[in-house]
Chains A and B, each alone.
Chain A
Amino acid sequence: MSAAVDKPRLSRAHELDLLKQMIRIRRFEDACAELYTQEKIRGFLHLYDGEEAVAAGVIPLLESRDRIVSTYREHGHALMRGVPMKAALAEMYGKQEGCSGGRGGSMHLFDRATNFYGGNAIVGGGLPMAVGLALADHMRKENNVTACFFGDGAVAEGEFHESLNLAALWTLPVLFVCENNLYAMGTALALSESETDIHLKAASYRIASEAVDGMDVIAVEAAARRAIQAVRQTGKPYFLECRTYRFRAHSMFDAQLYRDKAEVEAWRKKGPILRFRGWLEANHMIHPEDIARIEAEVAAEIADAVAFAEAGTWEPVETLARFTYAEGTA
């Protein structure tokens, strides 16, 4: 795992929690896939399997007053941020008890209570919003960090470049977190970028950046700690590229014709959960009963969430137009 230089104090409790959070996300996504085949979840469903170390490594380091802008592959971010699992799952069912009232579905998880600003399904579209959230904090001299997650596909969008420029030009406290999983849907990074070393792009906007092994939760956590500290202290943006891999298809409609099964298998062997658990075991920091306990706790939470979503109610058709505008204004 990571060199000791930037290693935080690694307590056994903390490590077990990191492992649990990654397992929690993985099992949740497994459940979502299963529920999709049962047609409980419809529409597009983008799963986070393989990328858990990014959310688990970055998000717990943020303060509750900080802000998060995410993408359509955001289940893991939402869970790490503290959006209740049952509210997230009910949202995917389209039930009004969902975290967006059932209006948004899998791609649009929102939660004001945790400053979770979606769930943006236009690739790159969340970056300008993150700049604006940080601009508001900058103008009011509030020392908040806005963490903005996006994939390697967003790097090709104009909004990516506009947003990096604005954040640097105006000295805004944005933590850009690129989850580079090597594919923009089915287009390999090398087929969409002239420069595939993504974090270098930040340099052209004079933004401090680093690339980190996104399959190594401890490395991600250490880098994120440096990054968040830098943003908080300087008020300037920081760019963190997490090199990761998506184990499952892009969405449930993806036959994965664009990559070899062997490639997926090779990455699975480097999987963040497998790797971290192996490291904990090799260092005798985890016992089989710990794993059993974690799996049992996660399974119980998921079962509760499924029951909650199942018991959820459909929004009456009569309120379809509600909240197109604020109540009482239109």
Chain B
Amino acid sequence: MRKGQPDRLTTGLMQQIADRSEPVELSYREAVRAAIRDAMIRDERVFLMGEDVGRYGGCYAVSKGLQAEFGPERIRDAPLAESGFTGAGVGAAIAGMRPIVELMTVNFSLLALDQILNSAATLRHMSGNQFGVPLVIRMATGAGRQLAAQHSHSLEGWYAHIPGIKVLAPATLEDARGMLWTALQDPDPVLIFENIVLYNMMGKLAADAGPVEIAKAAVRHAGRDVSLITYGGSLWKTLEAASLLAAENIEAEVIDLRSLRPLDDATIIASVSKTRRAVIIDEGWRSGGISAEIYARIVEQAFWELDAPPGRVCSEETPIPYPRHLEQAAIPQASKIVAAAKSALGRGG
């Protein structure tokens, strides 16, 4: 199956539910749940494994109700053994299953980093293409719920450093619903980062919304004056910033990266070549982060197109604190994005 193209099974399902193309109101959480449920129905090799995904219904209630529908074998509660059950996901994937491993938060994923980096990401190359790992690992990321310094970080940029895996950051309902199935078709490990502030986000989505391609960035708002490049939870702050800028007659173009590995250089460079100015917004830390990588690629590939040095809005170089005012001060906000965009345009900041 080619990326982004529905396979025959998908097409058949789509035809069966053609009368369900009316938009329905749902949350990001429900969109993720629908994606898991859909995958479970379509492919008996798919199963969900993680801490409290079954009886509890998921730490963020994503998998609520799924164990009742699919049973405890396929909605598999795991003990607090991140490395153990992530590695079990690696083994099951090698043996032909299509596991979805849920890690409660990105901070906990560090306990599974050995399996993600040393096994999942390396096995195909190290074994001379004998053993691929078609594993999907989902986890929550990001700050905004006052969960303090061990539940709030944004480490997806770290994972994007690793060859052998793919890193996705669905920011919209459509992507929350559509990326999972495409990721499950991928013959290699795919990590999906769900920003925790998005789970309650409501919106409309076609009842029959289906798989989406996962390799391209999306222009979420077109503009000609400055490119605002972001992903995940920061997308909505960036769109808010674009509205504020529009009120000052600045037309910002908002790029939603969607995939952090691979990065869609073509979409980034095309936008920057048009606007000649760029600001990168990343909830990760600035030093050595994905924002630095994007910045470097812009400079490497579009240096002569630029009218100003690119700017960055990242999290402050500190652990995420608990009190709301400090937490919010630590992460990107629309006001900071507006200031950075204006600075890039030479209009103060």
- A residues apposed to B, CB below 8 Å: 67, 69, 96, 98-104, 108, 110-112, 117-120, 122, 125, 127-137, 139-140, 158-159, 162-163, 165-166, 169-170, 322-327, 329-330
Q: Is the CB of B47 within 8 A of A110?
A: no
Nearest B residue to A164, CB-CB: B84
* Nearest B residue to A120, CB-CB: B119
Residues 159-189 (chain B) with a chain A CB within 8 angstroms: 163-164, 166, 186-188
Interface residue ranges, B against A (CB under 8 Å): 3, 47, 73-74, 76, 78-79, 81, 83-97, 99, 114-115, 118-119, 123-132, 163-164, 166, 186-188, 262
* B187 in contact with A329 (CB, 8 Å): yes
With contacts A110-B126, A132-B87, A133-B94 taken as known, whether A125 is within 8 angstroms of B79 at the C-beta atoms is no
Contact, CB under 8 Å: B119 / A129? yes
B residues near A129, Cβ cutoff 8 Å: 87-88, 90-91, 94, 115, 119
Question: Which 10 A-B pairs rank lowest in CB-CB distance, beginning with the nearest?
Answer: A132-B91, A128-B87, A101-B128, A162-B84, A136-B95, A162-B81, A132-B88, A110-B127, A326-B187, A129-B91
Q: How many Å lie between the Cα of A122 and that of B119 in the bound state?
A: 9
Q: Shortest distance in angstroms between A325's beta carbon and chain B's nearest beta carbon? A: 5
A69 to B119, CA, bound (A): 12
Known contacts A128-B88, A166-B78; 19 further A-B pairs (Cβ under 8 A): A96-B128, A101-B127, A101-B129, A102-B128, A103-B126, A104-B128, A110-B130, A112-B127, A119-B126, A125-B119, A132-B87, A136-B92, A159-B87, A163-B87, A163-B88, A165-B84, A166-B85, A324-B124, A329-B188
Smallest Cβ-Cβ distance to B120: which chain A residue: A129
On whether the beta carbons of A130 and B91 are closer than 8 Å, the reply is yes
Q: Which residues of A contact B124 (CB under 8 A)?
A: 323-326
Q: Please, which residue of chain B has its CB at the minimum distance from the CB of A118?
A: B127
Q: Contact partner of B164 among A117, A132, A325, CB < 8 A?
A: A325
Across the interface, name the chain B residue whose C-beta is closest to A330: B262
Across-interface contacts of B97 in A (CB, < 8 A): 135-136, 139-140
A-chain residues with CB within 8 Å of residue B126 when the two chains form the complex:
100, 103-104, 108, 110, 118-119
Chain A hits for B99, CB < 8 A: 132
- Nearest CB in chain A to that of B187: its residue: A326
Q: CA separation between A323 and B164, bound complex, in Å? A: 8
Q: Is the interface of A mostly helix, strand, loop or mixed?
A: mixed
C-alpha gap A98/B119 in the complex (Å): 20
CB distance from A172 to the nearest CB of B (A): 9
Distance from A162 Cβ to chain B, minimum over Cβ atoms (Å): 3
Q: Let me know if B84 and A323 touch, CB within 8 A.
A: no
**Complex Cα gap A158–B73 (Å):** 24
Cα distance, A162 to B128, chains bound together (Å): 29
Say whether A128 contacts B83, CB under 8 Å: yes
Q: From residue A170, how far is it (CB to closest CB) to chain B in Å?
A: 8
Which chain A residues lie closer than 8 Å to B127 at the CB level? 100-101, 103-104, 108, 110, 112, 118-119
CB distance from B41 to the nearest CB of A (A): 17
Please tell me if the beta carbons of B83 and A158 are within 8 angstroms of each other in the complex. yes
Question: Is there an interface contact between B84 and A324, defined as CB atoms closer than 8 Å?
Answer: no
- What's the least CB distance linking B85 to chain A, in Å? 7
Inter-subunit contact A323/B115 (CB<8 Å): no
Give the CA-CA distance A283 to B302 in the complex, in Å. Answer: 81
Residue in contact with B84 in the complex, picked from A118, A128, A133, A137, CB distance below 8 Å? A128
Residue pair A135, B114 in contact (C-beta under 8 Å): no
- Kindly report which residue of chain A lies nearest to residue B85, judged by CB atoms: A166
Are A135's CB and B128's CB within 8 A? Answer: no
Name B83's closest neighbour in chain A (CB-CB).
Answer: A159
Interface centre among B76, B118, B128 (most CB of A within 10 A): B128
B92 touches A125 (CB 8 A): no
Distance (Å) between the CB of B53 and the closest chain A CB? Answer: 14
- Of A102, A108, A133, A140, the residue contacting B91 (CB under 8 A) is A133
User: Contact check: which of B91, B128, B164, B186 meets A128 at CB < 8 Å?
Assistant: B91
Chain B minimum-CB-distance residue to A115: B95
Chain A residues, Cβ within 8 Å of B125: 103, 323-324
